[in-house]
Structure 1
């Protein structure tokens, strides 16, 4: 370690949001830190009349089904095709128990948890071929970390070619029109994974959803038991999905803020890539040096172990956050 700068960033490679590790590795950086390492909405849903459920009582089945119905209505599908789960990351790890015994392969590059749940990897170019061979495939749309978006027609063309297609739509709420949920109605071999926390900015609530044929949903509910999510997750999730004014306003805000981030990065010779407004991936030969420069300024971006020229920027919450990032990039 030289001048307070760690020689290895291994602690920060696995996931974004590891602010405690960043503070440990860069103890002399100014505080409070600005965390730009995740794809989580920096302006969380927080209405003045936030529901306050009674945590002393077990959640009722009626309340749970009400949450799933509210989510299904927003997703554009029917409630019998939706199951609430305690975070989409857990759902990823349950996939081997839900799918047929064919191998589950993760598309690379991709989300670290996908690779941990899978037994192998495949490139995006070989997705259709692998499905025809009977493999089950897992990948994100928009992709993580690149933010690339496959069109609905392209995805529907590969549905039903053999194995099961598992699409992680964690960022679909921030990317209107990207979800396959409204276009699947029968027994198509497709499972969609949805995240509540990323778009609504409440990642710590640990709430996600599976969208799948009813038989798969029943197997999942049997695995999770009668109380898969907390009373707060049920109450807040139900109210949030019904808050269409906030959803519409937030989608517009995210688009404007992403454009502001793109312009800021371009001013410093950094081209942000991706269709998801919650983050931008930059490819630059000095990505590691830029990461360290930002960390010394108390700003956490997202580095990658096997792509040393990659650096991902989450969305700054406001003009003050944009200004702080601008100053840190300018004083290199």
Structure 2
């Protein structure tokens, strides 16, 4: 098994940033895979002070504007989730995402990612190598590495063609790279009965790139969708997986009964049932994106890539820029795999945009003076 990427150690001397909160999952004797995710606000507060209200958290690609919540029924809390309600939500999700098949409801797309190695071996019993279009979300490598797969990081579909399993994000996190759905359909079809995973966690504002309508017709294609990012409700932990049999059946069985809560189902039903509310959410994200773009441009920062929910910057030294922003109580995301890069989520207001622009300009001025 490949050795895990370690969480960043606390630097001696000047850098007071503590080791980040990391996620890991291992059995005794296994090599730990630890991933530094965004959103570690408590760690940032411990290192740099302040309260949550003092901080501007731009470390995730989650909408800063949350979708309105419904009035929950008492039964959603008191009773187990109703299977008929789950089927209704699955049908709403199928329509919302433009899919041809009913999805498996998951506790976020991460719940499905944990089972990808099992699905790869279901389709091809001797599967032992996965190609991951990189750099990207680290949990793909962690899931396959824990299962004993050889992990090959690649930069193009052509390099991945012969792998037992292929995983890519569309659009990609963190650089925003996108593939056309026709290109992905041809690629997945040519691979026959081998697993091809397309994670569309950030695709809600880019519907033209979705391959959800191809899932079901291509045996090895699995398309993942995340609910929380677009709706600004990541804490709900809700996602959907679209695939043909036997993938969908195997994933559903692996997740077991009641994979999500009753309140989560009510939120999804409410969210998927109003075109007006959905249009307002898209407009809010576009507004936040425009304000963030202004702040970045005003500070003369270089954008390397973007989606509707985040920007990737050339920071020169991503970790140093992250720490400098933290001293302004702005939380951003740096990457071990791409040391020059820094990812910023969206601001929610003009005041936050001015704060971000001011911090970026102050940091740039300090670098020039030094």
- Normalized against structure 1, the TM-score is what? 0.91
1:10 and 1:305 in contact (8 A); partners too: no
1:26 and 1:295 in contact (8 A); partners too: yes
Separation in 2 of the partners of 1:286 and 1:223?
A: 42
Match of 2:270 among 219, 239, 246: 239
Alpha-carbon deviations, 1:187-244, whole Å to 9, x = none? 4320001100111111111111100013211111111222111001111111111122
Structure 2 residue matching 1:105: 3-state secondary structure: strand
1:29 and 1:296 in contact (8 A); partners too: no
Moved more, 12-21 or 296-305: 12-21
Match of 1:318 among 341, 345, 349: 349
2:228 and 2:238 in contact (8 A); partners too: yes
Separation in 1 of the partners of 2:359 and 2:51?
A: 12
Aligned position for 1:294: 325
CA RMSD of aligned residues (A): 2.2
Separation in 2 of the partners of 1:86 and 1:254?
A: 24
Alpha-carbon deviations, 1:145-183, whole Å to 9, x = none? 111111223222312122321000001112232211123
- Map residues 1-332 of structure 1 onto 2, 5 A cutoff: 5-6=15-16, 11=21, 14-27=36-49, 31-47=53-69, 49-54=70-75, 55-78=77-100, 80-99=101-120, 100=123, 101=125, 102=127, 103-118=129-144, 119=149, 120-125=151-156, 127-131=157-161, 133-162=162-191, 163-332=194-363
Q: Which has the higher contact order (CA 8 A, sep 6+)?
A: 1
Residue 137 of structure 1, CA deviation = 0.4
Separation in 2 of the partners of 1:135 and 1:222?
A: 23
Residue correspondences, number: 328
Separation in 2 of the partners of 1:202 and 1:7?
A: 28
Residue 290 of structure 1, CA deviation = 2.3
Structure 2 gap segments, 5+ residues each: 1-10, 23-34, 364-370
- Normalized against structure 2, the TM-score is what? 0.82
Structure 1 gap segments, 5+ residues each: none
